[in-house]
Amino acid sequence: MTDSEHNQLLPRLADQLDELATAVQAVSSDKRSQTEMWGFAFPALDRIELASVANILADRIREHAPLDIDADESQWLVDAASRVSVIKATIVPQLYGGNPNAASAYLVSLYGLERILDRFLGWDGNPEIAKLPAKLARRVSAASTRVAHVERDTSDLEAKVQVILSAHEAADQLPIDLDILRAALDNVKSLEEQAIKAQERISGAEAAISHAKSEAQKHANDAEKLVNQCDEAYRITTTTGLAAAFDQRGEKLRKSTNWWVGLLVVALGAGCWLGVHRVAALSSVLSRDTLNWGAIALHMVLSVVSVGAPLWFAWIATKQIQQRFKLAEDYAFKASVAKAYEGYRKEAARIDPEFEARLFASALTRLEEAPLRMIESEPSHGGPWHELIASEGFKRALETSTDLAERAYGIALSALPSKLTRSKAANATTSGSPESLHGESGRDAAAQ
């Protein structure tokens, strides 16, 4: 424990005694004395008066406490402080808690502490000289006179000595201080020069930074413009590329349609040429006097086969031309939408953002439509006869006319040359069967 801590023990003890007095006052609100509460054998003091005993001892400590306390004596004060804490914790709660001996214990404890502290505090107040022995009183008076003269003559001696010592120490340190000051001055000048140079460099760097900042801002603005232009160019390129792809596909379909048209013309021409030759051949067979039914049947089969193949191919070409025309028109429409979208988008964005979103949704819907929908919506037929049979008109004809087959057969017979009918009659006559001739005549009449 340091000397300053030793010297603070008595003031702390005084503070503890004040806290003890406060605790005694706060222990109860009863204003009766201990005698009124317990009888004549107990102190005639109430709680305020009991608390004032601790306050008086605390005031005495503050008034007469010595400035210096030895380390050996400090243990007494530490023990006294612990005693005050014990009194506060154990005795004070019992003053009005039903224990009549608590007040006596409280007063006796404080009295004992006061006796212990007498060794530090000395006499209480200034004792009167008249109460001292005569010899001691004279010595005290003489000592007091000498002390008064000494104090009057040496009142400022300590201050003067301190000034002299300080001046002497300063004089001893003066050469060293001057050298230190010179070195410090040189250092300050060097630092000043460095600071000036650093300030110049900082000013140059600040100007360079400002220029770089302005250039960076300019480049950032240019970059932002370029990004916007790139986005715009990308949108236009995408739209243009999409339109070009649709145009290219549509152009291929149109070219292939031209090829199919040429093939259709060739097929029809081939069918006509073969038909003419086959009809001529069949007519030559039918124009003979004696009909060869085997040859007629063979010529008819050859006619059907030779003419049917080009006509079948012509039907295929017609279907291809129809489908490719639809696909080409669909691709052309999508290309037109893709080409016009960018311009419409700008106008729509200028008018209303909601209108722009609706335009985009509409364009996307058109572009997402698969071209095969134009083909898948139509039934796939294996041939022209299949298409004829599957047609709604043929089905309605079958429903409305039950004798369509017989009528078709009659029309076919009426289309045959009259010579064929005469040859059949002649064959029937040579065979010598009247019934057959009658039957043939009946069939001819029915056919007519």
Quick one: DSSP state of residue 92? G
Question: Which run of H or of E encompasses 88?
Answer: none
20 contacts 84 by C-beta, under 8 angstroms: yes
CA–CA separation, 262 and 198 (whole Å): 91
Helices (H) and strands (E) in the chain, counts: 16, 0
Question: Apex CA 301: angle with CA 296 and CA 303, to 5°?
Answer: 90
Helix axis angle for 71-86 and 9-26, nearest 10°, is 10
Would you tell me how many other CB atoms lie within 10 Å of the CB of residue 15?
A: 15
Residue 165 lies in a domain: no
Residue range 384-413, pLDDT digits in tens:
655 655 556 656 665 666 565 566 555 545
Residue 87 lies in a domain: yes
DSSP 278-305: HHHHHHHHHTSSS--HHHHHHHHHHHHH
- At 315, list the tokens: 């039907």
Give the range of the structural domain holding residue 58, as residue numbers without chain letter: 3-123
Provide the b/e sequence for 52-64 (b: ≥16 CB within 10 Å): ebbbebbebbeeb
pLDDT of residue 431: 41
pTM (2 decimals)?
A: 0.32
Residue range 72-101, pLDDT digits in tens:
677 777 888 888 888 888 888 888 888 888
Q: Is the model more confident about 365 or about 45?
A: 45
pLDDT range class, residue 435, cuts 50, 70, 90: very low
pLDDT of residue 442: 35
Residue range 176-187, pLDDT digits in tens:
777 788 888 888
Residue 141 lies in a domain: no
Residue range 106-118, pLDDT digits in tens:
888 888 888 878 7
Task: Look at residues 34, 16, 23, 36 and name the one whose alpha carbon lies nearest to residue 92.
Answer: 23
CA–CA separation, 47 and 175 (whole Å): 70
267 contacts 313 by C-beta, under 8 angstroms: yes
| Total length of the chain | 448
Quick one: DSSP state of residue 182? H
CA–CA separation, 231 and 323 (whole Å): 38
CA–CA separation, 352 and 339 (whole Å): 21
DSSP 210-240: HHHHHHHHHHHHHHHHHHHHHHHHHHHHHHH
Distances, alpha carbon 143 to alpha carbons 22, 68, 136, 137, 138, in Å:
43, 23, 10, 10, 9
Residue range 276-292, pLDDT digits in tens:
777 776 777 677 666 66
How many domains would you assign to the chain?
Answer: 2
Residue 29 lies in a domain: yes
Residue 369 lies in a domain: yes
Check pLDDT > 70 for residue 128: no
**Residue that is last in its domain, among 63, 98, 123:** 123
Q: Could you tell me the end-to-end alpha-carbon distance of the chain, in angstroms, rounded to an integer?
A: 153
Provide the percentage of residues in the chain whose pLDDT is more than 90. 0
**Residue that is last in its domain, among 102, 123, 144:** 123
410 contacts 418 by C-beta, under 8 angstroms: no
Residue range 191-211, pLDDT digits in tens:
888 899 888 889 888 888 988
Burial class (CB in 10 A: 0-12, 13-18, 19+), 285: middle
pLDDT range class, residue 124, cuts 50, 70, 90: very low
CA–CA separation, 126 and 445 (whole Å): 179
Residue 419 lies in a domain: no
271 contacts 307 by C-beta, under 8 angstroms: yes
CA–CA separation, 301 and 415 (whole Å): 17
CA–CA separation, 155 and 120 (whole Å): 27
What sign results for the dihedral spanned by CA atoms 188, 194, 199, 202? negative
Q: Is the model more confident about 345 or about 225?
A: 225
Task: Look at residues 381, 375, 289 and name the one whose alpha carbon lies nearest to residue 330.
Answer: 375
Residue 184 lies in a domain: no
Q: Clarify whether residues 250 and 114 are in a common domain.
A: no
Give the SS3 label for residue 362: helix
Check pLDDT > 80 for residue 32: yes
Contacts of 130 (CB under 8 A, 6+ apart): 137
pLDDT range class, residue 374, cuts 50, 70, 90: low
Q: Clarify whether residues 402 and 267 are in a common domain.
A: yes
Q: Clarify whether residues 119 and 254 are in a common domain.
A: no
Q: Clarify whether residues 391 and 259 are in a common domain.
A: yes
Q: Clarify whether residues 256 and 390 are in a common domain.
A: yes
**Residue that is last in its domain, among 123, 152, 167:** 123
| Average pLDDT of the chain, as a whole number | 71
Residue 332 lies in a domain: yes
